[in-house]
Chain A
Amino acid sequence: MSKGLFVSVSGWSDTSLTVTVGADSEAYVPTTDKDTPYGYMEDLETWCNAAARAWSGSATFSQSLLETLTPYLGTQLTSSVATTYAADSDLQTLLGWPASGQSATEIYSSSGVPSSCDGRSDVGNWTRRVRDVGNYARSGSFVIDSQYCALRHPQIELVITEAQAGALKDALKNSSDPRTAHAYRHSTKEWVEFSLGKVDVTRSQAEHYRAALEAIG
């Protein structure tokens, strides 16, 4: 049920992951420097499965979430064929990955992703809203803004334990500037990305806290 939150950090463009399938070996270096770990994994999966890859057509890759590293989250990359991975030290730090894959097909976090929290997340009011009305006359009307471009003003909250509060605090402290985040939306089983403002953490019970996130998406 939990899922949780990934917060953006800097430094992805300094990382390198070398993927080797058979005789084909290529390195992925992101061009986006500030990103969340979830955003990085999505881009990595897209890159691995792109037609330009030497192994295209003979190997497919998928990324997935690890939820066993509480109070953090973890990430995993899995291949359909035997693959070796070599993650540099910067990537190991950002994702909690080892230097090389743990099995013939996968590499995954052996320690929690530092910029994450596996608190129970939920996202409400994830809709685009144009707040002002336009003008009208007998000849026609126009809207004040484009609904398609309007921002969402979601309500995003986490219910977290003491340990998860510590993980959230560290993720916020080390976040990039400006910053974004990915939170899990249970109703649609998807991760949503938004600009992350202030985070209010208040105690709701003896050992639980509620984190209210200021977000625009």
Chain B
Amino acid sequence: MATTPPQLESFFYAALTGLETIRVDDSGTVVSLTNTTAVPVQTGSPNVLTGWHVDANVSVPLAETYTFSWDSTNQQVSFSATGAFDLYLDGSTSAAFGFSDQYHTGASEYTSDLTPKAICNPLNIDYDAPRAAEETELRMLRWSRAIARKHYRAEVTTLRIMMTSAQADAVLAGPLLTSKMRVLPTGYTSGAYSASNTTGYLDVFPYGIPNTQKIGSADGHTMVEIACSVVE
């Protein structure tokens, strides 16, 4: 079965000003495309890129047909249409998608020229099987009977990621580590993680980086451990 390359992608929130809206114009009327929920950049339905181009394609002032996508081979976000259009990447969306300029005009396709901060395909992602993080109290009562009280807190896991140092510099400083993210491990085919799909995607909240290490020629690769709680 075909597998998707390992991938990290940020969740974009409707309430997070600066990442929820982009604008396009192909007919003299600028149309705002706004994400109204919390979704990842590309994987699953709905997602940010698909949501925006679906809105663009039903928008009456816009005449062209739009496709917004992530190119995992070239590590670029692509905003394209059937004809020339203007693209406005407002707020932090330009940095999130790896564009050095916020405003683009005159072409039918625009692609990232920098390393994106909101999505990337590391060389390898592995996660520990999520485990129950619990506090327990094991008490012994009279006549030597024992009881054990458990206080369930969350599921936790550790990601172990090998990526290029360029990706690490973008990822470790960007939106990916400040909020919820979707993790597609090495060997991912489809669906969410479960006991019957142990290479499924995980939605996690990172809470710490216990270990990073630069390795390889000219420190070109970085290994990162990220401690996360799992969204349930």
Contact = CB atoms under 8 A, between A and B. Distances in A.
A172 B130 contact: no
B136 A162 contact: no
B1 interface: no
Interface residues of A, number: 34
Contact of B195 (A163, A198, A201, A214): A163
Contacts of B147: 178, 195
A197 B148 contact: yes
A184 interface: no
Interface string A185-217: 000000000111111010100000100001011
Interface string B89-132: 00000000000000000000000000000000000000011111
Nearest to A173: B132
Nearest to B138: A197
A196 B121 CA distance: 41
Nearest to B143: A149
A216 B140 contact: yes
A209 B129 contact: yes
B196 interface: yes
A170 interface: yes
Contacts of A177: 149-151
A173 B155 CA distance: 8
A216 B137 CA distance: 12
B131 A167 contact: no
Given A172-B132, A173-B132, A197-B138, A216 B148 contact: yes
Contacts of A195: 138, 146-148
A165 interface: yes
Interface residues of B, number: 25
B150 A179 contact: yes
B146 A169 contact: no
A148 B196 CA distance: 44
Contacts of B196: 163, 166
A151 interface: yes
Interface in B184-198: 193-196, 198
A79 interface: no
B148 A180 contact: yes
Nearest to B127: A162
B132 A216 contact: no
Contacts of A194: 146
Nearest to A214: B138
A172 B194 contact: no
A175 interface: yes
Contact of B128 (A170, A172, A203): A203
A198 B134 contact: yes
Contact of A175 (B138, B146, B150, B195): B150
Nearest to A203: B128
Question: Which of the listed residues A151, A167, A172 has the most CB atoms from chain B within 10 Å of its own CB?
Answer: A172
A50 interface: no
A4 interface: no
A195 B136 CA distance: 11
Given A180-B148, A198-B138, A216-B138, 14 more contacts: A145-B144, A151-B144, A151-B146, A163-B196, A166-B195, A167-B195, A175-B150, A178-B149, A179-B148, A179-B149, A195-B146, A197-B136, A197-B148, A216-B140
Closest 5 interchain pairs by CB? A166-B195, A165-B129, A197-B138, A216-B146, A162-B198
